[in-house]
Structure 1
Amino acid sequence: MDGEFGRLLGWVAELGLRGLVGCLLLSLPVMAFAGLGWFHRLPHLRSYWRVPIITWPAMSAGVALAWCILYADPFGPSFRISAVFEVGGPWDIPWTTFLTNRADPALYGYEKLLPVLRTPDIDPSLALALLSIGVLLVIAVVAALVYLRDMDLAAGLLGIPFLVLFSQAVTIYVTALFAYTLNTLNFWAALVALAVLQYYRHLATHGGR
């Protein structure tokens, strides 16, 4: 009896620890967005932050750039479904290793994108994505020049690369966290995915009623 109780207690403690770690990992992007909101309440940053045609293209460019980096990076293959759920695979690691290795945006550089910029024929799909990112940045800069003046313009021109880097970092972290969470939950994640799929099938079958 004592052995059974001890195993049950150990299982509950492990679940509790995983829950605390999960809350910590999830809180990081939430705190990042909270800090971003506070930062843009500063006087000279309010104007450009209120012009969606400046901020949305910049943030979209950052998100797209993050996915391009992950696609071109050597870590890219580890985002395949087979690798995500693999026992002993690249995502079957302690959470400390996850934070210092897989989830650190600073570890993902632009080196693998440079050859594609020089020779688009290497990977036409990636080259097209990078071209789209360039178009988004041009839209943001032109919008800043049109809608902003003086200090607001200076804040906007500095804010655009800031938003690109911010959204890039958050996207890399959240994408890595999603893969890590799927590996950690494994069977339970599959059950949740199945439940969500069945829910939407039910909606489609009954016309949303």
Structure 2
Amino acid sequence: MRAHELVQLKSLSLFSEMKAESLERLLDAALLQQFPTRVTLIHEGGPADFLHVLVDGLVEIYTEQAGAEWGISLINPVSTFILAAVVSDQPYLNSARTLAESRVLLIPARRVREVFDQDVAFARVVARELALAYRSSVKKLKGNMARSSVERLANWILTEAHKDTSQGNILIPFDRGTLASHIGTTRENLSRSLALLTEHGVRIRGREIVIDDKEQLEAFARPQRLIDDLTS
């Protein structure tokens, strides 16, 4: 890694509390790599050889079941992904691929476990990352169980809009098939859901979703604090 890349990585929250010597042990074995879009980084069932840290870009966690793919989560920078497999030295339960050009830091899993055992501050940050990933999984499970596909789509739109309150619209950052997978529906049902939401305060312009009446959309979606990421 170049000097400026090391400086950037040392500022990441994942490494902010650990001892300097522990950080050096992690980074002297690490690789910072650039990947184009649609590159598979992790294969479901494979050994957890590296800790992946997304520095820039967008990564999709997904599973393949009965010949179909289903989205598990979308990873935005800066964040680790599938950390539990690395810490527990277990096979990956899901696959991962880039959905945009991405920079990913790869740290050998064995080195991560060694430092985890020796540096309490690093272990605390890792535990926090695992807790956040667990809570995110529970929220998604609750939403899938309690809501129809159109309600899940409506809440996804509100969550995306909440990330940038300066915009009155959102741009779907991937194809509709990927979006359908991540809200637990088919591409055909997604098209019907998008059409239905035009009666609840939104307009569809290709990959752009314009929110004309946020209150009307919220009345239909009924977002909940313990499911949706609309509050800190």
Range into which the TM-score falls when normalised by the shorter chain:
under 0.3
Q: Which has the larger radius of gyration?
A: 1
- Bigger helix fraction: 1
- Bigger strand fraction: 2
The alignment's TM-score, normalised by the length of structure 1, stands at: 0.27
The alignment's TM-score, normalised by the length of structure 2, stands at: 0.25
